[in-house]
Amino acid sequence: MIPLSWYLLVAAALFCIGLFGVLARKNVIGILMGIELMLNAVNINLLAFWSYLYSEQVNGLVFAAIVFAAAAAETAVGLGLVLSAYRRRGTVIADELDTMKG
């Protein structure tokens, strides 16, 4: 009843919103939340395709499971970095973390 394309569009939209968050948020934690949204969109995409087209195989499921694990690990590391940076620099604003400035 629900066409695959709807799911795909939702995933695409969620992805782009997350992307916007990554590109435009000042706070580093806001950026990380954007990354979470993107990863979720990816999951939706994967599972949608699996469910409609490849449900006899198990690859999609495994891929989505690994994505979950990776997302969790990445968020943990990212927040650890944020805390470390906060301690060293005293800021969580992305624009102020510009020691790589050329």
14-53: which residues touch another protein (CB under 8 A)? 14-27, 29-34, 36-37, 40, 43-44, 47-48, 50-53
Q: CB-based contacts of 59: which residues, under 8 Å, 6+ apart?
A: 50
* Centroid of chain to Cα 6: 20
CB of 65 to another protein, least distance (A): 7
Structural tokens at position 24: 């435009």
**Does 83 sit near another protein (CB under 8 A)?**
yes
Q: How far is the CB of 49 from another protein (least distance, A)?
A: 9
Task: For residue 5, give both structure tokens.
Answer: 């394309």
Phi (first) and psi of residue 48, to 5 degrees: -65, -50
Number of residues that bind another protein (CB under 8 A): 83
User: What is the smallest separation between the CB atom of 76 and another protein, expressed in angstroms?
Assistant: 5
